[in-house]
Structure 1
Amino acid sequence: MLQGSDLFAMEGGTSTKIALPATDQSAQPTTLARGADGSVYLAGPGLGVWRYDGAGESWQSLNNTLPDLGVTAMAAHATQPGTLYAYLGKDGMFRSRNGGAEWVKVDSGPQEPVQTFLHSDMPGSMESGWLFAGTTRGVARSMDCFCFWGDAGDLRGMVSAIDYDPAAPENVYAVIEGQLHHSADGGEVWTGLKVPQPVTALAFSPSQGLVVGTANGNLLARGAADEWAPVHE
């Protein structure tokens, strides 16, 4: 989970801080994605896209064929390990099918600027899945054939984080102004969820399920009865 400018790995109810890539001080990590093979990717303005090598505890730059380093959001394909997506504002949306070795522009993206987005293998796509984009207006949704971007329900506001449940892809979560929202039907209808503190980040852990980062630096995991318990460092 990316919590502010800190990166944490979560396992078995505990979290471990991971050192970020050594880059220019002005580079700002803003988005984190996990590939279908477990690879971890980090991106942000001035940073571009990087992949983490857990064995060597090092980072590899994947920026050789991107037009610039102005990546504001990225996502990894839910089932295809080598397929990645990066959003570069006015430059549009780029896709790599070979793990970031080569990037190709595939779309301009939604009408509103994308703050964060994800790829989901939710059923119903004419291609291999769906892209959900958290924008300055709400949540936009498109099949990954990039056929059409439309509103995912009537949730409105600037989305700062978005994620989904890999075990139940119709369940999508989005954060607007610290408030956590949940859709159980792929973005058609949204309801607010109560969290003890304002939410700043989202992640799904194989052992913990939904985990949120909060404004005061806590990591909280959602229990079966909708209670929230701390994830210990």
Structure 2
Amino acid sequence: MNDTDKAITSRCSTRLSRRAFLGAVAAGAGLISLPSRLRAASGLGITSSAMAFDGDGLIVAHDTLSRRDGGGALTPLRGPTGGNILSLATHKDRAGRIAAGLKSGGVALSEDGGQSWEVGHRGLPDAPVTAVTMAALSLDTLYAAVHGDGLWKSEDAGRSWILAMDRPWLEGAERDLTALASVDLATGMGGIWIYAGTEMGLTRVPDCLCRWQDVQPGDAMDALISGAAPSPEKPLPAGEPILALVSAASLPTKLYAALPSSVWVSEGAGVVWVQRSTSRAEAVAVSPKNADHVAALTEDGLIQSRNGGMTWTALADL
């Protein structure tokens, strides 16, 4: 083993120890439980589900992996080695590239629309990847949420990873990240926010990765300095886990969230939310070309809307 490999092994061991230590302390104190995605993947509820638009195609992970192009039927895909997919992410400027967070650990990457996969995990802790997103303005930058740990970052399309942020501290404990979205907003420190769903609700951090904060009106720097920024006008339901979160690439201020209560939509960057369905939602995806074209996995099956969730039509039973 050369010096570089030894350094990587040492860093990985430190991160694993950190994750194990935090998890043991929190679990012993009764402060954490498995987030909804992992309870589902463990067979204690719904099966793990994820979805994302790849150009005009829709990628759906629900027990198995499939793809739907145009108005066609769902076509099975060969999933990545490593087990269940807990999250999916794509990029508007790179059709065919799909990232998948795996229950077994690691992030799988496909460059051909899901036909073949390569799993990258160098530097990542050996734990489920509950959420993954691609940076809005950087094709090779990925973010991943690791169960029991924090927010991790890759700048080489998932081949290697470094720890970017600890988990957010919410209501007396560190909380796992259950959903991620890179959002291109003028109010971010560099124009970009990382929005995150947790088992307790919504949070975000500017892409300077300086501090988790509540979603609120105003500029990122003002919020960081004030320490007492105004609350969202109509937030998501308090204490309800966010199972999936997406920003519309063609209109970044428009966000969709999948919650146990339903699909929710925000027209104003997460400050005001409106309920847009009546059934439990497990996953949600929005077209990169049309902010009103949204698809969701719900207890009623795979559904889609062409008017921002005002009305829905069935696509398939799953």
Asked which structure has the greater RCO (Cα within 8 Å, sep 6+), the reply is: 1
Match of 2:242 among 148, 153, 159: 159
Residue of structure 1 in register with 2:271 after alignment: 188
Does 1:33 find its partner at 2:89?
yes
Match status 1:76 vs 2:160:
no
In the alignment, structure 2 segments of 5+ residues that lack a partner are 1-50, 52-59, 170-174, 216-231
- Whether 1:85 and 2:143 are equivalent positions in the alignment is yes
- Displacement of 1:4 after TM fit? 2.7
Q: Report the CA distance shift for 1:8/1:128 in structure 2 as closer, same or farther (over 3 A).
A: farther
Q: What SS does the aligned partner of 1:159 have?
A: coil
Q: Are the counterparts in 1 of residues 282 and 298 from structure 2 also a CA contact under 8 Å?
A: yes
1:214 match: 298
Q: What amino acid maps onto 1:89 in structure 2?
A: H
Residue 179 of structure 1, CA deviation: 1.0
- Structure 1 residue runs without a partner (length 5+): none
Choose 1 or 2 for highest CA Rg.
Answer: 2
The CA deviation string for residues 172-213 of structure 1, in whole angstroms up to 9 with x for no partner, is 111221411111111111111135x43221012357721111
Larger strand proportion of the pair: 1
Q: Which residue of 1 aligns with 2:109?
A: 51
Please name the residue that 1:175 is paired with.
258
State how many pairs are aligned: 228
Report what 2:75 is aligned to.
16
Q: Report the identity percentage.
A: 26
Distance 2:123 2:154 in 1: 10
TM-score normalised to structure 1 length: 0.87
Match of 1:201 among 276, 283, 288: 283
The answer on 1:125 being equivalent to 2:181 is no
Equivalent-residue separation in structure 2 for 1:33 and 1:221 (angstroms): 18
- 2:76 partner amino acid: K
What is the DSSP-based 3-state SS (H/G/I as helix, E as strand, rest coil) of the residue aligned with 1:212?
strand
Q: Which has the higher helix share?
A: 2
1:163 counterpart letter in structure 2:
V
Residue 227 (structure 1) aligned with residue 227 (structure 2): no
CA distance in 2, matches of 1:121, 1:207: 15
Provide runs of 4+ in structure 1 moved above 6 Å. none
- The corresponding residue for 2:22 is none
